[in-house]
Amino acid sequence: MADALNMRDFATLSVSIILVLVLGYAAARLCLRLGVVGHRVLLGALILGVGLATAGTGYHVRAEALPATKIQNPIVHFVESALLSPMPVVLTMKAGPNDPDVASVGERPPETSNFKASTPNPIKNVLVYMMESVPSKYIETFGGKYPVTPNIKSYSGDSIRFDNIYAHAPSTQYSIFSLFSSMYNDISYYGMTNRYPYLKLDSISNTLSSHGFRTGFFWSADSRFQRVDEFLLNKGLDAIQDFRGQKCATPTFKLSSETWKNMDYNSDLCTAQATIDWLNTDAEKPFFAIMFTAMTHYPYLVTDSPMFTKMSRSARDTTLVHYSDDDKFNSYLNALKIGDLAFGQILDSLKQSGKLDSTLVVILGDHGEAFGEHGDYVHASAIYEENIHIPLIMINKHLFHDEVVHSVGGIVDIAPTILDILGIPLPKQWQGRSLFSEQRPNKTFFFNPWSGFLFGYRENDRKVIFNATTGKVEEYDLKADPDERTNLFRDDASDRSALLQPIAGWVQSQRRRVADLVADAANDTPRCSITSLEVDAAGVDFQGPPRFDVLVDGKRVAGFDVPGKESTASTSEAAVAELKDASAGAQPLHVDLSGVTNPQTIELRYVNDLWAGPGKAGDRNLFIKSIRLNGQVVPNSRLHVDEQSHGYTDDSGTAMYTNGSLWVSGPFVAGCM
């Protein structure tokens, strides 16, 4: 079958011949118009082009290990790949409409679990600790040889480790989506948080919020990255905090640029303290919290990095330990040790508050990180083990006792496993399965659209990688070859279609699933309408009351004067106290929005601030106690003052001391785009 010419090849070859004739005719017409010098330039360019193409083709064939059929029939391959196959073969192979391996809970038969919690269930709280760019190979309990995770290791006796768990793409926003939604991403370059942040999804945080949990998400990095902040807004989270909302003694690591936006982050120790503060705010109500680190992201900055030698000595309180002569790898390991220290601080706090024994602690990596194992670096370069094989550890002294589970799974399976342990039914939309399910297939899928188009899966000990750009297939026996050094696939001896069929089923099924979700949201316009806006406001008068305008999608729809007591404040402290007293008398102000369908932005603009001047009595100020849309209170996490100098939002409401705007972040109805 290596060089057989079927009807498709015949058609392809015919098209190529026609193209060659057309191009030849055009070249001949061009030559007739050129002079002697023009002919020489054209001939030189032709010779140079042929030479470069010959050398480049030889390198490409060796580097990509193209199948024999593509080398022996290169013209057919070139034209077919350039013109007739704009879609990867896994999108055109025949596959069933719904792949049972990735069917949703509502589409598959009920499943049973081999996890049996004692009665009453000892678990009241859940803490998820997600580590940026950490593959399983660097965690000591997974065989890591560097002593950089001593705190995680210290809890191994009270843990269960899942040693065959994968990220479904080596990218943060893809993993965040799958962790929250228990769904695979769309098969695209952009990801669900970026393309469809407002889809109505049954997230784990929504589910636990409906069961009485308070919920929070804390990230050392910038949640605006790939629109993650927008994705999180309708996920039932009571608190959403990234590096911008943290009090941190260590200066923020500034990496953002015009090209790479939203790349700044804080020390993971600062995020740990923010998480601890939130965990301790309510001693009675159960919690679900996620902390996400950042320091192990490239370029692996720690506080005494050479880039930060101008910091004050007190800010540089962490000393680099020498683990490796490779400076970047050594910095990475030191950053990982800081993340482990942050983890230890959170668990120490839980222990001191008496909550550790009733908390399920979940540790995972969002994806891996490569350091040249296959000639690649960082994480989005491939889908080898170092890129996507992640640690998953669950800790609780009442449930686990240094156990190991070898089931193959992925991030989509983590939320179902948590609900299984809590005894809560899984939402019907979820694709993941509990890792304790007795019916789960021992398989998971992954892909990478940034280095060609890579697809893959692991089933039992076999791992398959398909490069849809080059046609290269790789097959590994991970039990015998955990470092993926020996490609078992042979083009003349292996069943290519059989190896790729699971990928085709998954990819085609997932594309249809996401398309259906998007179509359903687009067809739900009536539900997305906002009919009413209610603002509870108070003010302090000075030569007249404060006034604010309401703007929807940039258009003014209403304006209000907010009467209050006359100001007598002559200092900033007195003005703050005066406004606080006034807040107790906040009155509701109503705006009819029945003519606005699915608004994108709502702005409350304070327009007439007035101050008597230094040392003089009088300061006009505005206070917004709460905002309701369709009768539902908008959480403070979705309220943002445009400039910090204009005012601030806390648990009591939003105080405005100078002219400025309070923005209400959408979506204003869950699931509307």
- Each residue of 247-277: pLDDT tens digit? 888 888 888 888 888 889 999 999 999 999 9
Tell me, yes or no, whether 434 and 536 share the same domain: no
pLDDT at position 50: 64
Tell me, yes or no, whether 571 and 430 share the same domain: no
Tell me, yes or no, whether 551 and 431 share the same domain: no
CA dist., res. 108 & res. 1, Å (int): 39
310 or 123, which is more confident?
A: 123
Q: Is the pLDDT of residue 306 over 60?
A: no
**Any domain includes 316:** yes
pLDDT at position 258: 81
Confidence of residue 85 (pLDDT cuts 50, 70, 90): very low
CA dist., res. 413 & res. 115, Å (int): 14
Please give the model's pTM, rounded to 2 decimal places: 0.75
Domain final position from 390, 419, 440: 440
Q: Is the pLDDT of residue 64 over 70?
A: no
pLDDT at position 83: 38
**Any domain includes 232:** yes
**Any domain includes 178:** yes
Tell me, yes or no, whether 432 and 537 share the same domain: no
Return all residues near 484 (Cβ < 8 A) that are at least 6 apart.
374, 384, 385, 463, 474, 476, 478
Q: Tokens 């994968």 label which residue?
A: 166
Q: What is the CATH number for 131?
A: 3.40.720.10
- Express each pLDDT in 107-118 by its tens digit: 999 999 999 888
- Express each pLDDT in 583-614 by its tens digit: 999 999 999 988 776 777 899 999 999 999 99
Task: Give the range of the structural domain holding residue 223, as residue numbers without chain letter.
Answer: 126-440
Confidence of residue 638 (pLDDT cuts 50, 70, 90): confident
pLDDT at position 640: 86
Tell me, yes or no, whether 198 and 344 share the same domain: yes
Domain final position from 414, 440, 466: 440
| 466 in Cβ contact with 456 (< 8 Å) | yes
**Any domain includes 16:** no
CA dist., res. 321 & res. 124, Å (int): 38
Tell me, yes or no, whether 254 and 385 share the same domain: yes
Q: Is the pLDDT of residue 129 over 60?
A: yes
**Any domain includes 487:** no
| 162 in Cβ contact with 364 (< 8 Å) | no
Q: Is the pLDDT of residue 66 over 60?
A: no
pLDDT at position 31: 67
Average pLDDT estimate for 211-231: 92
Tally of CA atoms within 13 A in the half-sphere of 325 that contains its CB: 0
Tell me, yes or no, whether 319 and 433 share the same domain: yes
What is the per-residue burial (b if ≥16 Cβ within 10 Å, else e) of 609-618?
bebeeeeeeb
Average pLDDT estimate for 465-472: 93
Least confident of 18-27, 198-207, 308-317, 396-405: 308-317
The total domain count for the chain is 2
Tell me, yes or no, whether 413 and 547 share the same domain: no
**Any domain includes 502:** no
pLDDT at position 629: 87
Tell me, yes or no, whether 421 and 536 share the same domain: no
Average pLDDT estimate for 20-49: 71
Q: What is the CATH number for 607?
A: 2.60.60.40
Tell me, yes or no, whether 430 and 573 share the same domain: no
Tell me, yes or no, whether 551 and 646 share the same domain: yes
Tell me, yes or no, whether 542 and 431 share the same domain: no
Share of the chain above pLDDT 90, in %: 60
Which segments of 114-238 does DSSP mark as H helices, in order?
A: 150-154, 172-181, 192-195, 204-210, 228-232
Q: Is the pLDDT of residue 58 over 70?
A: no
Average pLDDT estimate for 465-488: 95
**Any domain includes 379:** yes
- Express each pLDDT in 174-190 by its tens digit: 999 999 999 999 988 88
pLDDT at position 249: 82
**Any domain includes 469:** no
Provide the Cα torsion 477, 480, 481, 482; round to 10°.
90
Whose CA is closest to 218, among 342, 46, 54?
Answer: 342
Mean pLDDT across the chain:
86
Q: What are phi and psi of 126, to 5 degrees?
A: -135, 130
pLDDT at position 84: 39
Domain final position from 415, 440, 465: 440
